Amino acid sequence: MSGIGLPGSPQDVPTPSGGTVRVRQAGEGPPVLLLHGWPQTSVMWHRVAPGLLDGRTLVLADLPGYGDSALPAGAAVAVSGKRTMAADLVAVMAALGHERFAVVGHDRGARCAYRMALDHPGAVSALAVLDVLPTADVLARADAGFARGAFHWFLLSQPADLAERLVAAEPDAILGRGLAEVCDPAALAAYASAWARPEVVHGMCQDYRAGFDVDAADDEADRGRRTITAPTLVLWGRRGPLGRAPAVLDDWRVWAPAATGRALDAGHLLAEEAPDEVRAELAAFLPTTSRYRLRRRATGEPGTATDRNDARRREP
């Protein structure tokens, strides 16, 4: 990670499924878990996280199977399903002393984050999802344009070890496609270092297999039956795939009725393309020590993520 400034020192926390999650923790105040997307690691937050430290405890985690987070040996595809990932990460946060926390996720990390909010509402005080729609919605609407633009969904989900062999043959062409134009060179080097390890390529493939094998079914089972009660912020890139979606907020309000949000002037990689805007939106949304104390004095109850600037309606 040479040249990349990430807050906190790395530590590995065991998970209930039998793997480990690499985390970095820094700051003081209400806890916030940051989850990255594909094909990245927690390094993707390097332009955003330092500006969120004031009044908060940040936990940056590599998703199970990505970066320095290890899946259990011989783990089934379901272990990479977002239900198990979410349970593992809730347990990791509890091990760090955080029984209730806000969670921010981009891309695959956002899929884990919204599943966490559905399955563990008592643990999630606030949810922010960056440039993503729920998995079941994506697959239900997949067409020829999606298949061409997001070909990696279908490639990485092929049975083992076909996908692993194909990615190993051309990792930069498949995993690094388009990243050099928007990523800091040191961040890109950190991602490429992770891709060079066969277990990480396998972990990525297992993640996408789980999207088809268990994640979409879990979403469909919850559709119309459960909704996200935590305050929810939705951000997406105007120049990315969701910029062509007709009603991103309407789609999310099926799952999180009180969701607010807006499009940013960026492509898919929001935290690397528009870090100042992402940081400003998250800073206004996420709880801080000062907001926590104000709410506690006013109500006698613990502060939550509702202690934010509610006057702002982040409509596109």
- The model's pLDDT over 55-66, given as tens digits with 9 standing for 90+, comes to 999 999 999 999
Q: Which pLDDT band, with edges at 50, 70 and 90, does 316 fall under?
A: very low
Using pLDDT thresholds of 50, 70 and 90, give the confidence band for residue 179: very high
Task: With beta carbons less than 8 A apart as the criterion, state whether 110 and 33 touch.
Answer: no
pTM over 0.85: yes
The pLDDT value recorded for residue 69 is 98
Residues 244-252, mean pLDDT to the nearest whole number? 91
pLDDT at residue 296 in the model? 52
Interhelix angle 82-95/108-119, rounded to 10 degrees, is: 80
Mean pLDDT of the chain: 91
Flag whether pLDDT at 288 surpasses 90. no
* The predicted structure's pLDDT at residue 289: 77
Unique residue bearing structure tokens 């020590």: 289
- CA distance linking residue 218 with residue 73, whole number of Å: 24
State the catalytic residues.
107, 268
> What percentage of the chain exceeds 70 in pLDDT?
91
